[in-house]
Each structure stands twice: as C-alpha cells, then as structure tokens.
Structure 1
Amino acid sequence: MVNVAVVGGTGYGAVELIRLLNKHPHVHLKSIISHSQSGTEIKEVYPHLTNIINVQMNEWNIQGLSSDVDVVFFATPPGVSQKLVPECRKNNIACIDLSGDFRLTSQEVYETWYGTSAASEDYLQEATYGLTELYEQEIMNSKLISNPGCYPTATLLALLPIVKKGWVNVESIIIDGKSGVSGAGRKVGLGTLYSEINENLKAYKLGEHQHIPEIEQFIQKESGQETQVTFTTHLIPMTRGLMCTIYVDLNEEKTTEELINFYTDVYSQHPFVRVRQEGIYPATKEVSGSNYCDIGIHADARTGKVTIVSVIDNLVKGAAGQAIQNLNVMNGWDVTLGLKEIPMYP
C-alpha cells in the first residue's frame, strides 16, 4: 500500500484527486494539506464527501510527511510547488505536480509566461513530463513528475504522432481550444460568474495563454524544429469538458483512412486514447468524468490540411486522472488501476 498526500485540498483538481484515489486498490490517502483551510475537515468544504472521506486538512509539515507519506500530489497554483518539492525530494518522497512549475525546461520562458520566479534549474532537469502515453519509460524511472496542462494533454496526444513522423508542417499549426468553467479553478472571478458565462461563449488570453510555451516545447522536442503555434482558447458554458480542434498542413498526401489506421496503431497499447472511425468525431460528453482522450481525424485532399478533434475531461485526463495514471506507471502497476470509469452520459 502506498501512502499519499494531496496538497491544495480545496481546489477542483485536488477534490478530483481525492475522488479517484479513494477507490484505488493500492493507495491510502494519508493527508490533505491546505493552508487556507487548515484544521477544517474536508467534508466541511465539500459536503459531498460526508461519511466517505473523514480527513482533517492540515498545514504543510515536511517532518510529519516524511515519516508517513510515499508520494505527494501538488494541486496548487503556480509558484507554490517549486518551493515545497525540494523538501520532499530531500526526504525521498516522490512528487507528482499538477501545477505548471516544472513543465518548462527554461527558467526564462517560465518567468515570461507565468509572471513569477521559476523553480531551480536542478529540479527542472530532474522533472519528467508526465504525458503518460508518450513518455511512459521516462515516467517509470522518475520520482518527480510534472503533470501536463489540460490543453497541452489534448493537443499533444492529437499532434505528436504525426509530428514525430514528419508528416505535417509544424509552422502551420492552429489550435482552437474550448474548455468548461472548472478549468478556471474554484477562485471567485467576474468572468466565471453564472450571469457572465451562462448562454455565452468568449475567447480569452489570446496570444498569452501559459500553455502556449508548453505545447511549443514538446512539438519542438519531437520534430527537431522551432515552431510557434496559433492557440486560441474559449470559455464555454458548461462545468467539465475540453475540446481542441487542430488544423495543420500536411507535408505529403495522406488519406483520412491512412491517418486513422496510423493513430490506431500508435495508441493500440494505450487504453485511455480512443481513435474514432472515419466520419465520426468525438464530443466532450463522451469522455465526461473519465480518463479518456478521444480523437477524430479528417484529411482534406482539397486544402492539403488535416483536422484533428481531441476531447478530454479537463479535471480527469487533463489533471487528476493523468496524475494517477502516472502514479501507476511509476509503481509498475496496471495503468488503469483506479481509473476504470465509464464516461458519464448524458
């Protein structure tokens, strides 16, 4: 049995971790850390956990964690985990970070996009990017996992197979992203008020979304080419769900059937990526509450472009579910442990 702690216990990512960890057969949730709600039972913040999770939240205390916990999940705002992860690693505690603090390899790039100081170079180099399907071997041998962002998860799972083959022009990538309101977290803000978001659709963070450099970093890594993507995000009036519709020029002629067959083969050993048949495209409802990423593909012979539609639940595959998937890989367990959820429908 592996003892785990969740840091950032009052956020949506943290409570989703708690929900999924509770039924994991090899995990015991030992501690929930929350600076703002220390001394409060989790059920007081989230009443739906009454008589299910009876844990009092506490302040950060590395001495207590070092004797009780094997793995710490960080579901914290940017700038927090970079200060706490070094204490864990010095005490031989494995870390899975759901914030962006260890995703970017360049301190300068992080500080430009996140507007705060970066983690130390040593820990940036130690961290493994936790896109499970593509970096499984590296994750297996790591004790510090940087969980991908929600938009990068949907985008990179959709793009990297053909990027690695050199079949597309990486300078032509356009990503149209749409996410439910839970992606903004639980903080109070004008833009997420019911009267502002209901029956409304709006673009946000044009040209300045912090996931842009993360997407570019791994496209460059796999293609060996410098690239700048066009990435536009939209807030849609629903709680969960994320869709990325991606447009990119083909370098060589490919049919839809050829691309679908290729993707099906690439992900044949990865149960959480499902590739749709020709002419069928995924919807956010079809992955809600689950760890699946569903992908639909259309090659347009007339324009020479390929359109890829990729959907995930932003709180599961885009955050907590992928973090647990990485925990499974780190420990040599079946990758589906604790994650065998049928999507909620309707």
Structure 2
Amino acid sequence: MKVAVIGGTGYGGVELIRLLAHHPHAELSAVLSHTQSGKDLVEVYPHLTGIVEQTVHALDVEQLAETHDLVFLATPSGVSKDILPQLVEKGIRCIDLAGDFRLKDPQLYPQWYHHEPASDAYLQKAVYGLSEIYREEIAQAQFIANPGCYPTAALLGLIPILKAGWIDPHTVIIDAKSGVSGAGRKQSLATHFSETNENLKVYKLGVHQHIPEIEQILSNVGQQEVKITFATHLVPMTRGIMCTMYVQLNEGKTTKEIIDLYHSFYERDAFVRIRPEGVWPATKEVYGSNYCDIGLAHDQRTGRLVIVSVIDNLVKGAAGQAIQNMNIMNNWDETTGLNVLPVYP
C-alpha cells in the first residue's frame, strides 16, 4: 500500500519514516514539506543516507490522490484542517497527527489552539485514534485524529479505573513531564540548550492545549463531566513522557485488586504493559518503542491511587500510534512494523 507523509521533515514525520521503513505492507513513496520542498531528504536528515533517499516535494492534492492510498499528516497545528478535507474528498484515508480534529466542540479551538477550527462536519466525523480504547471505530474510519502525546499516556493510565467506577472523577490530578522533542524541531528560546540543560521547569499551567482533549475523553468514558488539574514540565532529555496521576478511590480496593483490573482491561493489548506491585516504570524502559508502561499503588493512608504511565512521546505518543491505527484500519495485525525493542540504556 502506498503511503505519504505530509510534514515529513519534523520530528514526528521522520519518526514515521523510520518506522515505515520496516513495515511489510506499506511503502513510503512520498515525503512532502512546504518549507523543505526541493531538497533531498538526506540533506535534512543525513542519518537516512542509503536507507530512505527521496526528494522532498510540495503538496499536490490531485497527484497524491492518483497515486496514494493513505496519508499521514504530521504538520504544525492549524495546517491539516485545510488539507485533510481535500484529501478525504478524493477518497484518500488520512491519519492526522496534529490536533486539528481531536476536539468535537469547534468553539474550543480559538481558546486552546489559537486558530480557527476545521469544519464542524469534519470534527464530528473524525475518529479519535486512541488505539486500545477505540479499536472498533478506528477499523471503520476514513480518517483518524491521532491523540496527543500527553493525552495518550494520561488516558491509558486513567481509563480502566474510571470505567470501573472505582474513583471520584472530580479528583484527577495529572503531573506530567516531557522530553524536549515534544516541542518539535523548530528553534525557540524555550528549548535552547542553555535554557533546558540541568533545568526543570513547568509550563502552560491551566492553559495547555491537551486539557480539553483529556477532559473530553474522560467525560465520555465516565459519562459525566470531568475536570482535571494538569501540570506539564519540561525535563532535560530528548524523548519520553511520564504522567504521575493522583485520584481519590471511592472503594476500598487493594493495590493487587487494582493491578488485576488493569491486567484484565488490557489483556489483548500488546503495547500496554502493567508493572507488578511495587515496581515503577521509567521512560528509558519504553525509549524508541510503541509501549505504554503503567505502575499502580494504592496509598492506604490517604485513600488515593497513584498511577504512573510512561511512553515515548514520538512513538506511542505520535508516529507509532499512527501506524498502529493504520494497521487497524487495514485489518492487519496491529503490531505490524512496530515490534521493536525499547532502546536501553
């Protein structure tokens, strides 16, 4: 199957290229970028020399429709909302890694993303691509709104216990930390080496664009409005996200009972791994892979549950989950092309 990547010169795009190079059923036959058009891909990323050597082209919707079956959009926020509908109308299936189709309420986009929304018809038609939770809907979808990196880690950690009704949904606190690659490749003072090295800083308190995305899914799962406290931190490492989450239990469950619940919930999900009692996941343990690792502990003294969820923000938080969704859409084994061991140390 011929696939293309729009925005193929960013970190999410080049991670798609890396993973697609090992996929037995998908051929990457076009890499598109407005800013790098006309360059050879190896000029932008020399590590691809002798492996993926293509010229980067500008987008031509008509030509793309004639030659490709599926397109990944790894563009900056606010770009794919105009491109994706043109592709879908030509019969191309699409997976959008930006946030342009994640929220159902169009009024939220100016506030949280600072741009106008996509058409309401497309927002309502979009299928949210959290692979383990919406597998059946993804299998029938024409286009996917791939989840954000923070929401992937947070939601996979929270949904089982919320769906079981074992927590007070009004007590969700998410303390999240991400490596610098989550900010993308574009240069900025916030990600300058001198600003991030040997430094830990909080950012976007109360205004992070992933807040309404997490709340939307938790509210749907919990069948009531859920509001969260969400604190994001930038840590001096390249990849990885750790979400440490705190919720109040409303039932007297032991840690073992909670771990058993998670094992049962994710029993058919190859990419979610639950740690045994007293063992906590680390970002290095999922580095470069599509795994989400989860650790759990019930603090008997406070009645709170602590959930630790880790992912690689560029893989399970972006490109890996997008390929997992492509596999589901095509009725392929969803681990196809993604059976790579985490890189350690």
Report TM bin, short chain.
over 0.9
Partner of 2:182: 183
1:191 shift after superposition: 1.1
Partner of 1:144: 143
Cα distance in 2, alignment partners of residues 287 and 112 from structure 1: 33
1:134-185 deviation per Cα after TM superposition (whole angstroms, max 9, x unaligned): 1000000001100000000000000011111111111100000000000000
User: Which residue identity does 1:173 align to in structure 2?
Assistant: V
Cα distance in 2, alignment partners of residues 135 and 89 from structure 1: 21
Cα distance in 2, alignment partners of residues 9 and 133 from structure 1: 26
User: Which residue identity does 1:264 align to in structure 2?
Assistant: H
Partner of 2:312: 313
Cα distance in 2, alignment partners of residues 110 and 277 from structure 1: 40
User: Which residue identity does 1:176 align to in structure 2?
Assistant: D
Partner of 1:333: 332
Partner of 1:154: 153
1:68-104 deviation per Cα after TM superposition (whole angstroms, max 9, x unaligned): 1000000011111110011111110000000000000
Cα distance in 2, alignment partners of residues 279 and 178 from structure 1: 21
User: Which residue identity does 2:77 align to in structure 1?
Assistant: P
2:134 aligned with 1:125:
no
Cα distance in 1, alignment partners of residues 109 and 165 from structure 2: 28
Partner of 1:108: 107
User: Which residue identity does 2:114 align to in structure 1?
Assistant: G
Cα distance in 1, alignment partners of residues 186 and 141 from structure 2: 32
2:241 aligned with 1:246:
no
1:182-208 deviation per Cα after TM superposition (whole angstroms, max 9, x unaligned): 000001101111111011100000110
Partner of 2:28: 29
**Matching of residues 1-346 of structure 1 within 5 Å:** 2-346=1-345
1:109 shift after superposition: 1.1
1:259 shift after superposition: 0.4
CA-atom RMSD in angstroms: 0.6
User: Which residue identity does 2:160 align to in structure 1?
Assistant: P
User: Which residue identity does 1:62 align to in structure 2?
Assistant: V
User: Which residue identity does 2:171 align to in structure 1?
Assistant: S
* Number of residues of Structure 1 aligned to a counterpart in Structure 2: 345
Cα distance in 1, alignment partners of residues 23 and 127 from structure 2: 23
Cα distance in 1, alignment partners of residues 251 and 75 from structure 2: 43
Q: Where in structure 1 do 4 or more consecutive aligned residues deviate above 6 Å?
A: none
3-state SS in 2 of match to 1:107: coil
Query: Which runs of no fewer than 5 residues in structure 1 stay unpaired?
Result: none
3-state SS in 2 of match to 1:167: coil
1:54 shift after superposition: 1.2
Cα distance in 1, alignment partners of residues 117 and 16 from structure 2: 25
Cα distance in 2, alignment partners of residues 97 and 272 from structure 1: 21
User: Which residue identity does 1:267 align to in structure 2?
Assistant: Y
3-state SS in 2 of match to 1:281: coil
Using the size of structure 2 for normalisation, the TM-score is: 0.99
Cα distance in 1, alignment partners of residues 63 and 226 from structure 2: 45
Percent of aligned positions with the same letter in both sequences? 59
3-state SS in 2 of match to 1:37: coil
1:19 shift after superposition: 0.2
Cα distance in 1, alignment partners of residues 21 and 312 from structure 2: 19
